[in-house]
């Protein structure tokens, strides 16, 4: 069989069905939007209960993370995410899912080498590069500060 990689690559692209972008986007928009609305609702509720704006924000995040952990453990989050994609990935609930799911998965390897070591296998890079980015911005901000004020 004589064929070069490029020809095959073109054949592969033609033969592979694309993701249904419009449907995927609609799912992501509405599910992601619903999660954010739930967050807004919780924030309003906490403020109505007398918490300060900062405390209400922290409580809202904590509640969403706890709920995501619970729904992940029940197997519901993954079922929703299979349709919602970025809609469930981007909000803070997605981050919680990325921590809880390996913690559950690697229980079988024990608490230390399994749960402890593997818990951040997906979320770890987000923390590492998130912190790195904040440090980099801190340095940049320090240099720019005389010009931009603040």
Partner 1 sequence: MRRKGDTVLFDRPPRAAAWAAVGGKKESEGPLADAFDLLLTDASCGEKSWEKAESDFARYTLEAALKKGGLSAAELDGVFAGDLEFQCTASAYAMRGFDVPYLGLYGACSTMAEGVGLAACMVEGGAMRRAAAMASSHFCAAERQFRTPLMYGGKRTPTAQWTVTGAGALVLDAAPGGPRVQAVTFGRVRDYNVTDINNMGAAMAPAACETILNYLADTGRTPEDFDAVYTGDLGLVGSRLLAQLLEREGVRLPNHQDCGLLVYSVDSQNVQAGGSGAGCSAAVLCCHVLPLLAEGQLRRVLFLSTGALMSQTTFLQGESIPGIAHLLELSSGEEGQ
Residues that bind partner 1 (CB under 8 A): 1, 3, 5, 8-9, 11-12, 15-20, 24, 72-73, 75, 77-78, 80-85, 88-89, 94, 97-98, 100-102, 104-106, 108, 122
56/96 with CB nearer partner 1: 96
Q: How far is the CB of 49 from partner 1 (least distance, A)?
A: 30
4/148 with CB nearer partner 1: 4
How crowded is residue 2: how many other Cβ atoms within 10 Å of its Cβ? 4
Residue with tokens 């609609």: 26
Helices and strands (DSSP H and E) totals, the chain? 8, 0
Short-list 97, 89, 38, CA closest to 73 = 97
d(C-alpha 97, C-alpha 71), whole Å: 9
25/45 with CB nearer partner 1: 25
Q: How far is the CB of 120 from partner 1 (least distance, A)?
A: 12
d(C-alpha 31, C-alpha 28), whole Å: 5
Q: How far is the CB of 75 from partner 1 (least distance, A)?
A: 6
Q: How far is the CB of 24 from partner 1 (least distance, A)?
A: 7
- Kindly state the tokens that stand for 94: 């997605």
């Amino acid at each position: 069989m004589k064929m070069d990689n490029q020809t095959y690559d073109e054949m592969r692209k033609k033969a592979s069905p694309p993701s249904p972008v419009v449907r995927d986007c609609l799912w992501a928009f509405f599910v992601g939007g619903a999660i954010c609305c739930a967050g807004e609702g919780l924030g309003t509720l906490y403020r109505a209960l007398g918490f300060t704006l900062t405390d209400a924000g922290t409580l809202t995040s904590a509640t969403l993370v706890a709920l995501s952990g619970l729904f992940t453990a029940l197997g519901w989050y993954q079922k929703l995410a299979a349709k919602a994609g970025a809609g469930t990935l981007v909000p803070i609930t997605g981050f919680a899912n990325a921590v809880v799911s390996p913690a559950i998965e690697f229980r079988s390897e024990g608490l230390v080498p399994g749960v402890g070591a593997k818990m951040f296998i997906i979320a770890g890079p987000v923390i590492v590069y998130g912190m790195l980015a904040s440090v980099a911005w801190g340095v940049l901000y320090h240099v720019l500060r005389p010009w931009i004020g603040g």
